[in-house]
Amino acid sequence: GNSVTQMEGPVTLSEEAFLTINCTYTATGYPSLFWYVQYPGEGLQLLLKATKADDKGSNKGFEATYRKETTSFHLEKGSVQVSDSAVYFCALSDLQGGSEKLVFGKGTKLTVNP
C-alpha cells in the first residue's frame, strides 16, 4: 500500500539555521503531497501542499517540491525561528473509491534554540 517515510529526528537547530526534513513516498499513481505541522497541545495545521509533479508548495518561508523521479517531497526553510519549533508530518492523499484519506509519516520533532 501507499506509505510515507520521513526522517524521525529529533532535529535541533539554532535560530537562523537552514532546515531540511527529508520525506519519500511509495504510491500507485500520483497522489497529492502535504506537510502538516503540529504545535504542542494542538491538532494538525496544513503547512503546504503540492498536487502534481514538479509543483512547489510554499508557506511562511517553508518550501517543498514534488519530485516524481525520486518520489520525494523534502521540506526546507532557509532561516528557522524559535517559533518554528513543532512536529512536522509529511503526508500523501490516498484515494479509494471516491474517498480520500491521508497517509502520514512518523513525524519529525524540530526544536529551534535562540
Partner 1 sequence: KAGVTQTPRYLIKTRGQQVTLSCSPISGHRSVSWYQQTPGQGLQFLFEYFSETQRNKGNFPGRFSGRQFSNSRSEMNVSTLELGDSALYLCASSPMTGLNTEAFFGQGTRLTVV
Assigned C-alpha cell, 63: 518550501
Name the residue nearer to partner 1 (CB basis): 70 or 96.
96
Residue placing its CB nearer to partner 1 in the complex, 16 or 54: 54
Choose between 41 and 114: whose C-beta lies nearer to partner 1: 41
- Given the rule CB under 8 A, which residues bind partner 1? 32, 36, 41-46, 49, 51, 89, 91, 93, 95-107
Min dist. Cβ of residue 14 to partner 1 (A)? 27
**φ and ψ of 40, to 5 deg:** -50, 130
Residues contacting residue 10 through CB under 8 Å, at least 6 positions apart: 108, 109, 110, 111
Q: Give the end-to-end CA distance of the chain in Å, rounded to a whole number.
A: 41
User: How far apart are CB 95 and partner 1 at their closest, in Å?
Assistant: 6
